[in-house]
Amino acid sequence: MSPIVKRKGEKFTLPSKWLLFILTIICSALMLFTFTTDFFDKPLGTIVGYALVPFEKGIGKAGGWFSNRKDEFTQIKSLIKENQSLKEEVARLTEENTLLQQDKYELNKLRQLFELDEQYEEYHKVGARIISRDSGNWYSAFVIDKGTDDGILKDMNVIAGGGLVGRISAVGPNWARVTAIISDNANVSGMTLATEDNLIVSGSLKGMNEGVIYFSKLVDSKSAVKAGDKIVTSDISDKFLPGILIGYVLTVEPDNNNLTKSGTMIPAVDFEHLSEVLVITDQKQIIEE
Amino acid sequence: MLSFLFTGALILILFLLQTAVFPVLLPLRVLPNLLIILTASKGFMKGENAGMAVGFICGLLYDAFFGEVIGFYALLYTYVGFINGKFSRVFYPEDIKLPLALITVSDLTFGLTAYVFLFLIFGKLDFPYYFIHVILPETVVTMVATLAFYPIILKINEYLHKRQRKREY
């Protein structure tokens, strides 16, 4: 079936080899373009945004209703138990709170003394609902129902329940993709809160299945970092705002080079039961070179 | 024309099922790849060109939302459509063994290719782990999903085929 020899009245069809060739060229060109520029992201994002996001929002609402009913039935028992332990915790926390407030007065006084700027001021946040998840089984990413129309930009940080979830990695007019910190293609520069040692938190598929995140390149010559220590985003990260809780150290082990340490940590966010997230609309200050 | 509309709607529905409905309803860590079922089915039912066209659109849709670069999954799905299209000459609608085998092999190859280009080239060499925890489970759940979705796709295809025949005579 050659394209040149064509009988009269026969419908013209492109030979499949040629179509394959053309599509391969198109895809390769697209890959090259999108790898180096973000020229195609915007029009494509707009089209799929208007074609699919309304459906996904509806499904998300219906699905949320169903899973809420399911949860209600399964959780009543555990809720009663939890309520009791929470009451005890409230009592304990009230006591702790009074102590902390005393500390806060002292801290404020000291800050004034050192004339330090308020480092961990309140960030501005926007709430968003998760409407779709990456089902490719390789990475952990999801789509939220807010986009550039709501003032969301690429690289903004996303939090939930007080912990870091990830950052915006693609954005359309009414949707945005969040790449989670547990995803295999995510790295976050973090530090331990107590000792301020820098480390790299790397998401991985293996860790995701075990419910932990791996960290590495921790320089801790005094062996001061131990299990239970808080890890927050570091001051030197170029995409993440400083001081957002990432998780808690689980294990620490020295590397083969005996200079750095690595280990596992438990994320502060329950990634399996996320439905709403907060997007921080403040962005890290970028120094143009 | 009607055929295009039906195929477009089918792509949309399966994509929504895969990315919005299944993650909420199914308590699975690994989800079936419905788009590959559709791409492969179109391939061996209607030939290479139809398979490639459907694969390209499915892949592009996936890339737009979840791809790191646009075009990677589009290319993969296009090849899946093309190779399955090669089997359209030996395809009989009554037999489910060939479609099942083709879709399974397609998904397995798809998973292996994705591993090579997304993980292996970044130095993540623990192949047995990825194979046992991602590629194999995905293939198995896709096989199960095939048993549920393939008859529906087949019915739609037969209906369209009949309509077209009626109009020709």
pLDDT of residue A117: 43
CB pairs under 8 A between A and B: 136
The chain-wide mean pLDDT, for chain B, equals 89
The tens digit of pLDDT for each residue in A86-104 reads 888 888 888 888 888 878 8
Which of A14, A23, A45 shows the shortest C-beta gap to B56? Answer: A23
Q: Are residues A182 and A133 in the same domain?
A: yes
Judging contacts by C-beta atoms under 8 Å, the chain B residues touching residue A64 are 24
Which of B19, B52, B129 shows the shortest C-beta gap to A133? Answer: B19
Q: Are residues A158 and A276 in the same domain?
A: yes
Q: Is the pLDDT of residue A121 over 90?
A: no
Q: Is the pLDDT of residue A125 over 50?
A: yes
In this prediction, residue A289 has a pLDDT band, given cuts at 50, 70 and 90, of low
pLDDT of residue A135: 75
Interface with A, mutate which of B12, B15, B70 (most A CBs under 10 A): B70
Compute the nearest-CA separation of A208 from chain B (Å): 10
Chain A: residue nearest B141 by CA?
A137
Please answer yes or no on whether B74 and A30 come within 8 Å at the CB atom.
yes
What is the spatial distance between Cα B121 and Cα A3, in angstroms, rounded to a whole number? Answer: 39
Would A1 be classed as within a structural domain? Answer: no
Please answer yes or no on whether B130 and A131 come within 8 Å at the CB atom.
no
pLDDT of residue A8: 53
pLDDT of residue A205: 84
CA dihedral B114, B118, B124, B125 (to 10 degrees): 30
Chain B: residue nearest A130 by CA?
B20
- Most confident range (mean pLDDT) of A118-122, A172-176, A283-287 is A172-176
Domain boundary pick from A66, A87, A116: A116
pLDDT of residue B168: 73
Which of B61, B69, B129 shows the shortest C-beta gap to A48? Answer: B61
Please answer yes or no on whether B16 and A56 come within 8 Å at the CB atom.
yes
Please answer yes or no on whether B56 and A34 come within 8 Å at the CB atom.
no
Q: Given the structure tokens 């707009």, which residue do they identify?
A: A46
Note down the domain range covering A132.
124-281
Q: Are residues A112 and A197 in the same domain?
A: no
Percent of chain B's residues with pLDDT above 70 = 99
Compute the nearest-CA separation of B93 from chain A (Å): 22
Please answer yes or no on whether B12 and A19 come within 8 Å at the CB atom.
no
Q: Is the pLDDT of residue A288 over 60?
A: yes
The tens digit of pLDDT for each residue in B75-115 reads 999 999 999 999 998 988 888 899 999 999 999 999 999 99
Domain boundary pick from A57, A92, A116: A116
Q: Is the pLDDT of residue B46 over 80?
A: yes
Interface with A, mutate which of B60, B65, B79 (most A CBs under 10 A): B65
0.80 exceeded by pTM: no
Please answer yes or no on whether B72 and A63 come within 8 Å at the CB atom.
no
The domain ranges of chain B are 2-19+36-168
pLDDT of residue A118: 47
The tens digit of pLDDT for each residue in A187-227 reads 999 998 888 889 999 988 888 888 899 999 988 878 888 88
Q: Are residues A78 and A185 in the same domain?
A: no
Judging contacts by C-beta atoms under 8 Å, the chain A residues touching residue B20 are 55-56, 59-60, 63, 131-133
- The more confidently predicted of residues A13 and A254 is A254
Write a three-state SS string for chain A: CCCCCCCCCCCCCCCHHHHHHHHHHHHHHHHHHHHHCCCCHHHHHHHHHHHHHHHHHHHHHHHHHHHHHHHHHHHHHHHHHHHHHHHHHHHHHHHHHHHHHHHHHHHHHHHHHHCCCCCCCCCCEEEEEEEEECCCCCCCEEEECCCHHHCCCCCCEEEECCEEEEEEEEECCCCEEEEECCCCCCEEEEEECCCCCEEEEECCHHHHHHCCEEEEEEECCCCCCCCCCEEEECCCCCCCCCCCEEEEEEEEEECCCCCEEEEEEEECCCHHHCCEEEEECCCCCCCCC
Which of A45, A67, A131 shows the shortest C-beta gap to B64? Answer: A45
Would A65 be classed as within a structural domain? Answer: yes
Q: Are residues A97 and A142 in the same domain?
A: no
Average pLDDT estimate for B122-131: 87
Q: Given the structure tokens 């925890």, which residue do they identify?
A: B133
Q: Is the pLDDT of residue A175 over 70?
A: yes
What is the spatial distance between Cα B33 and Cα B110, in angstroms, rounded to a whole number? Answer: 10
- CB-CB neighbours of A61 under 10 Å: 11
**Contacts of the segment A203-206: beta carbons below 8 A, 24+ positions apart:** A203/A140, A205/A138, A205/B130, A205/B133, A205/B134, A206/B126, A206/B129, A206/B133
Q: Are residues A147 and A186 in the same domain?
A: yes
pLDDT of residue A119: 42
String of b and e for B104-126 (b: at least 16 CB within 10 Å)? bebbbbbbeebbeebbeeeebee
Please answer yes or no on whether B12 and A209 come within 8 Å at the CB atom.
no
Q: Are residues A245 and A134 in the same domain?
A: yes
The chain-wide mean pLDDT, for chain A, equals 82
Which of A24, A136, A185 shows the shortest C-beta gap to B75? Answer: A24
Would A36 be classed as within a structural domain? Answer: yes
pLDDT of residue A3: 52
Q: Are residues A88 and A63 in the same domain?
A: yes
Q: Are residues A48 and A155 in the same domain?
A: no
The tens digit of pLDDT for each residue in B50-73 reads 999 999 999 988 888 888 788 899
- Write the CA distances from A240 to A13, A249, B157, integer angstroms: 53, 19, 50
pLDDT of residue A10: 56
Would A112 be classed as within a structural domain? Answer: yes
Q: Is the pLDDT of residue A258 over 50?
A: yes
| Total domains in the fold of chain A | 2
Would A146 be classed as within a structural domain? Answer: yes
**Residues near A209 by Cβ (< 8 Å), separated by ≥ 6?**
B29, B133
Please answer yes or no on whether A64 and B24 come within 8 Å at the CB atom.
yes
Domain boundary pick from A116, A140, A172: A116
Q: Given the structure tokens 């779709």, which residue do they identify?
A: A132
